[in-house]
Chains A and B, each alone.
Chain A
Amino acid sequence: MARTTALNAAWQRLQAEAERLRHRSLHALFETDPQRSARFARQALGFYVDFSRQLIDDEALKHLLALAEAADVAGAREALFTGAPVNVTENRPALHTALRQQTDAPVLVDGEDVIPAIRAQQRRMGKLVARLHAGQWRGYSGRAITDVVHLGVGGSDLGPQLVVDALKEFRHPHCNVGLHFVANLDGGELARTLARLNPETTLFVVTSKTFTTVDTLTNAASALAWLEVASGLPAAELKRLHFIGISAAAERVDEWGIPADHQLRFWAWVGGRYSLWSTVGFAIALWLGMEGFTQLLAGAAAMDDHYRTAPAEENLPLLLALIDVWNHNLLGAHAHAVLPYDARLALLPRYLAQLEMESNGKSVQRDGTPVTRHTAAVLWGETGPTAQHAFYQLLHQGTETIWCDFITAVRADEWALPDVKAHQRLNLANCLAQAQALAFGADHPDPHRRYPGNRPSTLLLMDALSPWQLGALLALYEHKVHASAVIWNINPFDQWGVELGKRIAGELCTQLEKTEDGTEDSSLAPLLNHIRQVMRT
């Protein structure tokens, strides 16, 4: 009760702060405070985070930090790290932090230390990676595997794909296999991928927490059929040679027919969208090597430590969460754009869209009562330089206020280009220019050419991109999502919202198998009849 009172008081004070600042301009804030851009910037773990272009001042920040305190972010954080069942609707912990822990300090789940099991799976992953790196994983014809297709969807897809794509230049010298990702269930993505591959030398990595995910298992079945047609061998033999299964449900992988030594495990307490740190990141380990994968985990672990121990006013995940709350709940902006000025991070926006919107797109609090405030905003994005030629028009002159995260690496030495520095200067100049233009606008006698300004943004600069830094960046956003969820008092670790559609799809699939028009639900009958008619022709 005391907590609720303190929280309400904190929200009320913030409401007043928002009213006070709502009509101030960023221009004026900078003019009255020449130190502003340094004071609203933080440096830690290779990041330089500048949030001086948020419509915020010392007083507002003080009250935002008070809100975090009233919401007991610190307490919730401890519960997260120590394996308490923070995922209340599924009564289990969310221990992605244990997956990347660098020490062997025990982490208990139901009284049992999970670290030894994590290490055992990492060793097994290392062995499978080594066999592929050595060119000694053989397909049915005896030729070495040259291509690995990762089959997974959602959390079992976006994370590994993002990391491999972002760290292309960090390929382990022994990784001579091509990596491919197939997630969509429509068949088109799989067909396009397989068209370029040789069944003799292709290995499939089937990744599904429950090993029942219809998208992934449908793709796996089609991959198997493709191998059967090409080889003329029985399915059981192909499953023995051409598949790795990664799942939390070993018995279902057994049942599907993948031998135990080609299986990798993870656990119920690893959420899908937090799973790239587990064996789900097999493709990452294959690309970077185990050393590179360990670097990625170490970067995330450093951010874990920072989130857990850094003082609130220096705590990067917490500050980013509070900026979201400020814009979304207090200033009334409802969309958030993520804009990497680095083509290597092209997949980051859709990764973060899942992380934020699947975690925090909720309407009830942890106890099931309705929320009284907005939760996750709509998040989307695109690489900045291309988005400048696309939706930036709306950012600058549209009727919606959208707060932006500009993300970039200062050094980009690994590009193999004759004048990489010129590229990077131009890129950084564009990134900073957009932040300036959004913040300060520009007047013009012609209203069509007027820029209102006062549009908030945060600049997130990394010294350079590396496995370690990317690990830290992703953990930064994970913990930001956690801190926001705590403030909104929602459970970020379940996703019941995605179940209903799956169930209805199951029913409709049966309907579509029928060849005759039936007596369906009136909301669907004409549609189904039309589809059947087109399919018949």
Chain B
Amino acid sequence: MRIQVHGDTVAALTVAAVLADTGNRVTLLLPDDLSEALLRQRARSEPGLIPLLERVEAAGRLQVTQRDSDLAAEVFIFAMSAERQGWAEALCDEIAVAGSAPCLLVNRATFPIGTSEALQRRIAAQRPCTLVVEPDFISEGRAIESYTRPARILLGCEDEEGVELMRELYRPFNRNRDVIQVVTPRAAELTKFATNAMLATRISFINEIAQLAEACGVDVEQVRQGLGMDRRIGFDFLYPGVGFGGPNFARDVLRLARTMAEQGVDSTLLDAVLAINEQQKEALFRKAWRHFDRNLQGRRFALWGLSYKPNTASVINAPSVPLARALLAQDARLAVHDPAAADAFLAALTEQERTGVAVADTPEQAASGSDGIMLVTEWKAYWQPDWAALRESMRTPVIFDGRNIYTPERVRAAGFAYHGIGR
């Protein structure tokens, strides 16, 4: 098929590359204000994506461009970030007049509910257009895997031919068993929002239980295990920690809450989910505040992990930023380490705040001379530190484990004070 992907995200790059890999002729059109180099740089933290791109580009099946859009394509896939709705609308107006042949619009972008239909109407005013809403469930850090081996492919479409075309497109990924589910476009849109809201709710729920566990002198890890064993509940998205972040998650929950308000439905639960999450981002600050008798002036802390989750360079809505802000506001100083996100982290701070932050090349360097290590993002490199060497190098041996990745007894046995989430 001839496919044109419109997007500005690593997910868009993944969709374009994967579809080119299965034999389609794909053009990826980027917005004017995004440099190709920058997007490729972002793709570097995505396992396997760069080699895949090189392969399909060498084969001549993928073209990444800002200008020469292939408006002769029959399938248009929208995979832009949510704030680019204006761009999506402008593109529809172009597509509408670029030809007269029927076309397929596949919207993967997370716009407010009802937007996909509005986009289709813009094209359909001029030429026949079939709409498919295919919510983006690509997960950053495992983009290719999550796109090519999906648990389900959700298609919001009311046209049989459209569905057939999509089945054909996804045939290579839908062989083991049929995971395609067809619903209405609006149902697909709402499912995307509801999915993220449900996952966010689970995280805030376990974080609230973690606070209670702490107050009751219970290790929340034991509770989590017990909960997860129950098949009605399961283990996923039930890790207590310093809160969820990222570009989409919190925004989707917020947008769903707003949609509910607009529709006259109370969003009490989602408001609480978001409020708990914001509080949770400062959980390590509060633990340090209490550990050091509510006076952090002159203390030095090592922050391990700055990105909102491992294997990404993004700090959007990441807990590291409000945590750093809170510490710096109390005249503490920071040495930070992250395999990928240090630059983005610094850019998120004010100039004044940056004066209190040093970027370290290694986790050990950050820890050296500090009054405590704050594990914020559980990159693999942080899981097995040399406790004895760390203890030697630190001024005050305290571990603030924001993701409960260490075993408290072992850390304490190595001579540290240990503070986890809910334990």
- Which residues does A use to contact B, with CB under 8 Å? 131, 134, 136, 138, 140-144, 237, 241
Contacts and interface: CB of A to CB of B under 8 A. Distances in A.
Contacts of B288: 142
Contact of B326 (A136, A141, A237, A241): A136
Nearest to B279: A143
A241 B330 CA distance: 12
Nearest to A233: B294
B329 interface: yes
A136 B329 contact: yes
Contacts of A142: 282, 285-290, 294
B325 interface: yes
Interface string B287-305: 1111000100000000000
B329 A241 contact: no
Contact of A241 (B285, B294, B325): B294
Contacts of A143: 279, 282, 286
Given A142-B282, A142-B289, A143-B279, A237 B329 contact: no
Given A134-B329, A138-B330, A142-B290, 19 more contacts: A131-B329, A136-B326, A136-B329, A138-B289, A138-B294, A138-B326, A140-B294, A141-B286, A141-B289, A142-B282, A142-B285, A142-B287, A142-B289, A142-B294, A143-B279, A143-B282, A143-B286, A144-B282, A237-B294
Contacts of B279: 143
B325 A136 contact: yes
8 contacts: A136-B326, A138-B289, A141-B289, A141-B290, A142-B286, A142-B290, A143-B282, A143-B286
Contacts of B285: 142
A134 B330 CA distance: 12
A209 to B, nearest CB: 30
Nearest to A238: B294
Nearest to B329: A136
Contacts of B326: 136, 138
Interface string B255-281: 000000000000000000000000100
Contacts of A141: 286, 289-290
Nearest to B284: A142
Nearest to B330: A138
Nearest to B286: A142
B400 to A, nearest CB: 12
A241 B296 CA distance: 13
Contacts, number: 29
Contacts of B287: 142
A138 B325 CA distance: 12
A508 to B, nearest CB: 41
Nearest to A136: B329
Give the interface centre of B282, B294, B325 by most chain A CB atoms within 10 Å.
B294
A472 to B, nearest CB: 36
A241 B290 CA distance: 13
A154 to B, nearest CB: 34
A142 B330 CA distance: 11
Contacts of B329: 131, 134, 136
Interface string B30-51: 0000000000000000000000
B314 to A, nearest CB: 23
A141 B288 CA distance: 10
Contacts of B294: 138, 140, 142, 237, 241
Contacts of A131: 329
A509 B290 CA distance: 41
Interface string B323-345: 00110011000000000000000
A143 B329 CA distance: 13
Interface string B384-404: 000000000000000000000
A-B pairs with lowest CB-CB distance, top 3: A142-B286, A142-B289, A136-B329
Nearest to B295: A240
B265 to A, nearest CB: 22
B276 to A, nearest CB: 13
Contacts of A140: 294
A134 B350 CA distance: 13
A138 B329 CA distance: 10
Give the interface centre of A138, A140, A142, A237 by most chain B CB atoms within 10 Å.
A142
Contacts of B289: 138, 141-142
Contacts of A237: 294
Contacts of B325: 134, 136
B366 to A, nearest CB: 22
A140 B282 CA distance: 14
B173 to A, nearest CB: 46
A143 B326 CA distance: 10
Nearest to B287: A142
A141 B215 CA distance: 13
A237 B292 CA distance: 13
A262 to B, nearest CB: 14
Contacts of A136: 325-326, 329-330
Contacts of B282: 142-144
A286 B385 CA distance: 46
Nearest to A139: B294
A136 B286 CA distance: 12
A300 B279 CA distance: 41
Nearest to B293: A237
A142 B290 CA distance: 7
A138 to B, nearest CB: 6
A230 B305 CA distance: 35
A141 B214 CA distance: 14
Nearest to A237: B294
A131 B285 CA distance: 16
Interface string B72-106: 00000000000000000000000000000000000
Nearest to A134: B329
B207 to A, nearest CB: 15
A215 B7 CA distance: 65
Interface in B149-167: none
Contacts of B286: 141-143
A335 B325 CA distance: 57
Contacts of B290: 141-142
Nearest to B325: A136
A157 to B, nearest CB: 30
Contacts of A241: 294
A241 B287 CA distance: 17
A431 B329 CA distance: 51
A534 to B, nearest CB: 42
Give the interface centre of B288, B290, B325, B326 by most chain A CB atoms within 10 Å.
B326
A49 to B, nearest CB: 45
A141 B282 CA distance: 11
A276 B294 CA distance: 33
A201 to B, nearest CB: 11
A143 B294 CA distance: 11
A234 to B, nearest CB: 11
A133 to B, nearest CB: 12
A462 B178 CA distance: 72
A429 B164 CA distance: 69
A236 B330 CA distance: 19
Nearest to A140: B294
A386 B285 CA distance: 50
B211 to A, nearest CB: 11
Contacts of A144: 282
A138 B294 CA distance: 9
A385 B277 CA distance: 46
Give the interface centre of B288, B329, B330 by most chain A CB atoms within 10 Å.
B329
A134 B349 CA distance: 13
Nearest to B290: A142
B374 to A, nearest CB: 14
A138 B288 CA distance: 12
A34 B57 CA distance: 90
Contacts of A134: 325, 329
Interface string B405-421: 00000000000000000
Contacts of A138: 289, 294, 326, 330
A141 B68 CA distance: 58
A143 B278 CA distance: 11
